[in-house]
Amino acid sequence: MKVIEVYKLTKMLKERPVLNGVTFDVEKGEIFGYLGPNGAGKTTTLRILLGLLKPTSGKALVFGKALGDNEDLRRRVGVLLANDGLYERLSAYENLGYYAQLYAVSDRDEKIRNLLDFVGLLDRQHEPVGNFSKGMKRRLALARSMIHDPDVLFFDEPSAGLDPEAQKMVRELILRLAREKGRTVFLNSHNLDDVQRVCSKVAILQHGEIKAYDTVENLRRKVRTPAVEIVLTDDNEADQALTLVQSLAYVSQCEREGVRIIAMMEEENIATLLSALTKEGVKITEVKSVTTSLEDTYLKVIKHAEGRR
């Protein structure tokens, strides 16, 4: 079941195209990563999905409808925007209480306390939010986005300003929301490590256009450059080893960093490479194939798209 559908979405702001034919969809229970450099149009897409902006053309639907005109549907959506959206003069409890009333949440007190406990702010529930650190505000805003137990959550940089421990908490929370509760999560993020760990599918946006859209694994496979890392035992043998590796027909490119040599080649040729090196008396500590991270994938997609402009 498709929870989010974006089809040929175009948006002009001040006669400038911000989005140009963006198409993707997100299935129920999926964690979808929406990536792209600053100014790519990620937040504009999010704002259109949330009904804050109207599309110039195309569709941006949540549960098959546009959120903008549908007050009841908005009750099924939780939001954490780049701005925390908290009231600094109200306490943490009052902030959650306010939104709990706006979403007509039942058992307010219990839910608020549970959420405050979950984000580690129960002992500071009566303090004005203005006294909180950036990380604490972010955690409270995260709790606020879940106060009405929404079916779909839109997170814009949820771990921005959080320490590593809190970032881990956010990741675990997102995974739990999707795996245990079947919630759908739309994650707008720059944190590629987070996205790689939690997202099942990603789209990479640049200059208002989708440049890549697939599962994380498929994307990594698509842009992968096969490479092998050879760690030598003796630094004195590095130059000799480099010359030898460079001379091999199946190695397209090769570079050296201290005792490490990175050879662009298919994994299947590792055995031949090893025998060639040992034949020349080069001592080897380790040989392993180099994996492509989401960061490598992202940078390659962006660079490739930049080159085509």
**Binding residue (CB under 8 A) for other proteins from 16, 89, 126, 309:** 89
Smallest separation (angstroms) from other proteins to the CB of 297: 31
Task: Give Cβ neighbours of residue 153 (< 8 Å, ≥ 6 apart).
Answer: 77, 78, 79, 80, 145, 146, 177, 183, 184, 185, 186
CA distances from 83 to 34, 37, 137, 154, 200 (A): 18, 18, 10, 13, 26
Rounded CA-CA distance 226/263 in Å is 9
Half-sphere exposure of 158 (CA within 13 A, CB side): 34
* Integer Cα distance of 237 and 283 in angstroms: 8
- Options 78-86, 220-228, 282-290, 295-303: segment touching other proteins (CB under 8 A): 78-86
Cα angle, residue 298 at apex, residues 188 and 6 outer, rounded to 5° = 45
Residue among 1 and 104 whose Cβ is closer to other proteins = 104
Return the range that interacts with other proteins (CB under 8 A); candidates 2-10, 85-93, 179-187, 256-264.
Answer: 85-93
Q: Which one of 75-83, 174-182, 214-222, 236-244 is the stretch in contact with other proteins (CB under 8 A)?
A: 75-83
Among 1, 16, 83, 180, binds other proteins (CB under 8 A): 83
If one asks whether residue 101 binds other proteins (CB under 8 A), the answer comes out as yes
Determine if 12 is a binding residue for other proteins (CB under 8 A).
no
Give 153 or 212: the residue with its C-beta nearer to other proteins.
Answer: 153
Task: Pick one of 2, 28, 59, 74: the residue that binds other proteins (CB under 8 A).
Answer: 74
Give least dist CB 252 to other proteins, A.
Answer: 47
Instruction: Examine residue 53 and tell whether it contacts other proteins (CB under 8 A).
Output: yes
Place of tokens 């299947």: 268
Q: Dihedrals φ, ψ of 299, to 5°?
A: -65, -35
**C-alpha span between 285 and 290 (Å, rounded):** 16
Q: CB of 230 within 8 A of CB of 260?
A: yes
Q: Is 7 in the site for other proteins (CB under 8 A)?
A: no
What residue ranges bind other proteins (CB under 8 A)? Answer: 13, 47, 50-54, 68, 71-72, 74-75, 77, 79, 81, 83, 85-87, 89-90, 94, 98-99, 101-104, 128, 144
